[in-house]
Every structure is written in C-alpha cells, then in structure tokens.
Amino acid sequence: MLIKRAGDIPSSEITPKDLYLNRRKFLAGAVIAGAAAATGFGLRELASPTTIVQAGNKIDGIKKSTFSTTETITPYKDVTNYNNYYEFSTEKDEPASLAKNFRTRPWKVKIEGLVDKKQELDVDTIIKMATPEERIYRHRCVEGWSIVVPWVGFSLSELIKRVNPQSKAKFVEFTTLNDPSQMPGVRRPVLNWPYVEGLRMDEAMHPLTLLCFGMYGEELPNQNGAPLRIVVPWKYGFKSAKAIVRIRFVEKQPINSWNESAPNEYGFYSNVNPTVDHPRWSQAKERRLGEFLKRPTLMFNGYGDQVASLYSGMDLRKNF
C-alpha cells in the first residue's frame, strides 16, 4: 500500500474527491460548473455534496462580537463535510464520517511550562471561564480554499492571564490528541504525531486569537476540532490546532508539525500573504468553499488593520 507523506499531498482538492475518481461524475461536474458561471449561482446551489450532519448541543448565552466580518457565512453543511483533519484522513470528505464516534468527554487539558499556575483542567471548566462570543471569521487554508464561519469561543488571552505566564515565556505551544484507536490517520506517518502548533506570545494574546469550542451556535462537531481548538484568522488554517490536550509555555520557538515535515513549504508564522507563494502553487487567489470563481487573497486574510503591527520591521518573505 502506498503511504502518502506530507510532500506527496495534492496541492488542491477543491473539487470533491468523487469528481476526480469517476470520469462521468467529473464531466457532469464540469457541466454544472459551466452552468454556475453562466447563471451566477455557486456550485453549492447546483450540486451540494452528500451531507453528514452531526448536530451539537446548543450553546446558551452567546453574545455577538465586534470582531465579526459582515461577509456571507458559508453553509454549515459545507463546513462540516469538507475538512482538513489528517488525524482522521488526508481526504477532505472523509473526516466527517470517520470522526462520528470520536469521544470528546471526559477531556482534560494540561497547562504546563513557564507558568506560575501549572494545572490540568477539564474542558468544561475552560469553557465556563468567560462569556462565549460568536465571531464570524474568514478562515483561509493553504491549499487555496476559504470559508466564513461563525465560531463560538472567547479570546485565548482569557485563559493565558489566569495561569500567569512567567517573563521567560515567549511562545505558546499546542499539542493535540494522538489516539490511534479513534483517529485512523495517525496510524500512518503522514506527519510526526502528535500534531504540534505554536504562536508567539503576542500573537496568542491578541484579542482576535480565539479559544474555540463551538460554531453556528452549537458545540463543535468532531470533524471541526471538538472539543477545543484555536482559531487564528489571519494565518493559514493549519495554524489553528484542533482537539487540544496540552498548552505549554516555552522560551524557544516550538517546532510545529508542518514546519518540521516540510520547512521550505510551511513556515512557523504562516501569515496569509498573497505575495508569498507556496513552492507548488500560488497563494494570490482563493476559492470560497461552495463557489466557482476565485477571488483575490487578502493580506493577513483581511485582518491587516488589526495585526500588521505585530510584524513591523519583519521580512515577511523570510519569516513566512
């Protein structure tokens, strides 16, 4: 059996997998795409994918956030059926079914490293730390597709302030669950498991950085990172770690999983930047999930007014 490693993953899987694998379906998809372009409808309206819906519990007491974009929200069925989640599968249409029975309770998160208050917290204790907010964020994936999602959570800084980071803590490292019994993808050496990501401390403390436990007013579906993930809207999607089990405060820059796997392709910062191409494809344009036509990619994913000052004086081509 061929093992697909990080460097072998296709540069773009925007069209659902079955359209590539079946010539008749591919041709039908091409006709639909042409009709979409001619009529002004998106592919979503003409050819929606098979829906696997995992309804979550409603989250009470959500307040609207001033950080939200006014762009059209991507339909729930699309966001929950087209996922980058390699712990389950490298195919984007498979995590929804493979994660159906993923257990998210009980769930503990360890807070470690250079903090005064090391502890292990139950995920529900974390969720109750602050009033949940609905934040409608753009989310841009490195392969060239994007979504607009009403995430639910609160600023990660709320948790950070409660554990008292020490002055030497310059970075925050996130480690995600590594459970081969539940996650078939980690049985294959696509990456060096468990999945690890990291942020500079000022990035982690920025009010846009979201500690996320819901979307569309409900608890997170398993395939979207339940029970706890982060969302960093000005960075490419792989920076937003899912199913977090450890948060560690460190002095040196963490070695994040994709940078370890392919350092010439995935940098530590991974800010959305249309002027810095991936070695195998352009990042200048993106396709909103469910739409046919591409649109220009925005610097910092459109959040430049809020975050550009974090990188003042930095060479963003070198520090990609």
Q: What is the DSSP string of the chain?
A: -----GGGS-S---S-HHHHH-HHHHHHHHHHHHHHHHHS--HHHH-PPPP---PPPBPPS-EE-TT---SPPPPHHHHTTS--BTTTBSSTTSHHHHTTT---SS-EEEEEESBSS-EEEEHHHHHTTS--EEEEEEEE-TTSEEEEEEEEEEEHHHHHHHH-B-TT--EEEEEE---TTT-GGGGSTTSSSSPEEEEEHHHHHSTT-EEEEEETTEEPPGGGTTT-EEE-TTBBGGGS--SEEEEEEESSPP--HHHHH-TTT--SS-B--TTS-BTTB--SEEEETT-SS-EEPPGGGGTHHHHGGGGTT--TTT--
Low-confidence ranges of the chain (pLDDT < 50): 1-6, 9-51
Residue 116 has a pLDDT of: 98
How are beta strands 108-113 and 244-250 bridged, if at all?
A: parallel
C-alpha angle 131-133-211 in degrees, rounded to nearest 5: 85
Instruction: Give Cα separations from 134 to 56, 71, 212, 287 (angstroms).
Output: 16, 14, 10, 24
Which residue, 110, 94, 87, is CA-closest to 17?
Answer: 94
Residue 54 has a pLDDT of: 56
Residue 99 has a pLDDT of: 98
First to last CA, the chain: 34
CA gap 1, 229 in Å, rounded: 32
Residue 56 has a pLDDT of: 76
Which residue, 300, 274, 78, is CA-closest to 206?
Answer: 300
Whole-structure pTM value: 0.85
- Assigned token pair, 29: 């998809």
- Assigned token pair, 123: 């995920």
Give the rounded distance of the alpha carbon of 36 from its chain centre.
28
* Domain 57-311: CATH class, spelled out: alpha beta
CA gap 234, 142 in Å, rounded: 12
Q: Where in the chain is CATH 3.90.420.10?
A: 57-311
